């Protein structure tokens, strides 16, 4: 789990400006133990800021993704914070039962993929990998 201070330090290092709304989104995501949808995030933010609109939430999420602070999980249409933003080479393991996300940042995986891309003369712009399955908490509970 990433801490708010780690994200702040990362942003400071990379000159990423954290507006009050961006900070609120990060703070809301940090309290979740699993990825949540933009609408669930909106519901959390509305408690403090009833006038907030879904478009503003999406704008912040896009911004956070473009700076490697948050991930969009395509398989479940949910969002969560990257647990290691400075790595940028994330392998996301998504549990199809409970929705939890586990991240690894294996350099060896990235190197293999880079080599494949080089062979194809392909330029990688985004190297997030999603793997779908059952987490250690759900395996055994469900067959
Ligand atoms: Zn990540
Ligand atoms: Zn699970």
For residue range 37-52, what is the model confidence (pLDDT) as tens digits? Answer: 999 999 999 999 999 9
Residue 19 has pLDDT above 80, yes or no: yes
Ligand 2: distance of its center to the CA of 108 in Å? 26
Report the chain's mean pLDDT, rounded to a whole number. Answer: 92
Ligand 2: distance of its center to the CA of 4 in Å? 25
> For residues 71 and 35, what is the distance between their CA atoms, to the nearest angstrom?
9
For residue range 58-110, what is the model confidence (pLDDT) as tens digits? Answer: 999 999 999 999 999 998 999 999 998 887 789 999 999 999 999 999 989 98
> For residues 81 and 64, what is the distance between their CA atoms, to the nearest angstrom?
9
**For the CA of 83, the nearest ligand:** 1
pLDDT value of residue 143: 54
**For the CA of 69, the nearest ligand:** 1
> For residues 133 and 30, what is the distance between their CA atoms, to the nearest angstrom?
23
Ligand 2: distance of its center to the CA of 138 in Å? 4
Domain residue spans of the chain: 4-81, 91-133
Among 1.10.10.10, 3.40.50.300, 3.30.530.20, 3.40.50.10740, name the CATH number for the domain at 4-81: 1.10.10.10
pTM, rounded to two decimals: 0.88
Higher pLDDT, 126 or 134: 134
Among 3.40.190.10, 3.30.300.30, 3.40.640.10, 3.30.1490.190, name the CATH number for the domain at 91-133: 3.30.1490.190
137 SS3 class:
coil
Ligand 1: distance of its center to the CA of 103 in Å? 6
């Amino acid at each position: 789990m990433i801490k708010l201070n780690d994200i702040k330090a990362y942003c400071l290092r990379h000159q990423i400006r954290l507006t009050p709304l961006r900070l609120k989104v990060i703070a809301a995501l940090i309290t979740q133990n699993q990825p949540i949808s933009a609408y669930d995030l909106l519901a959390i933010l509305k408690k403090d800021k009833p006038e907030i609109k879904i478009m503003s939430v999406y704008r912040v999420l896009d911004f956070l993704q473009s700076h490697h602070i948050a991930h969009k999980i395509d398989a479940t249409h949910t969002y969560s914070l990257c647990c290691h933003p400075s790595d940028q080479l994330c392998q996301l393991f998504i549990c199809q039962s409970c929705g939890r996300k586990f991240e690894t940042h294996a350099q060896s995986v990235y190197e293999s993929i880079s080599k494949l891309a080089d062979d194809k003369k392909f330029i990688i712009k985004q190297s997030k990998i999603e793997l779908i399955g059952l987490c250690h908490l759900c395996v055994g509970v469900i067959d």
